[in-house]
Amino acid sequence: MILLRFLGVSALFALVAVFMPGSWMAATHCWLGLGEMPTGPVVEYLARSVSAFYALFGALCLVVASDLERYRPLVRFLGVTFPVMGVVALGSPSLKQQRNPTARSASQWHGLGHRSFLS
């Protein structure tokens, strides 16, 4: 229950990216060491859509954590799929590419989060 609540609350922070100005997104992209953010409506749409999806996922975790007995089959499903998603993310080609060995990209930080979750 505590893990679901932690995941739920932390994923809700993605709502910030849904509503933040594009210039803030571009600045964050550079700050994370990913270089200049590509321009175009598809890039911004995908960034906002994925953020909204993470926020929805966070809300789902909070609902499930509110009544574990009622949502037991869903909790089991999430308990199996979270680690599988982590393994898939660790095998992602973006994690294998290193432009600068002294700087970590956002995808590498994301992968580290999955590694610590799986450990």
* Per-residue pLDDT band at 113 (split at 50, 70, 90): low
Cα–Cα dist 61/72, whole Å: 12
Are 111 and 92 in contact by the 8 Å Cβ rule? The answer is: yes
Each residue's pLDDT tens digit, 72-111: 999 999 889 988 888 887 777 665 554 444 555 555 555 5
The structure tokens listed for 36 are 């200049």
Residue 20 corresponds to which amino acid?
Answer: M
pTM: 0.68
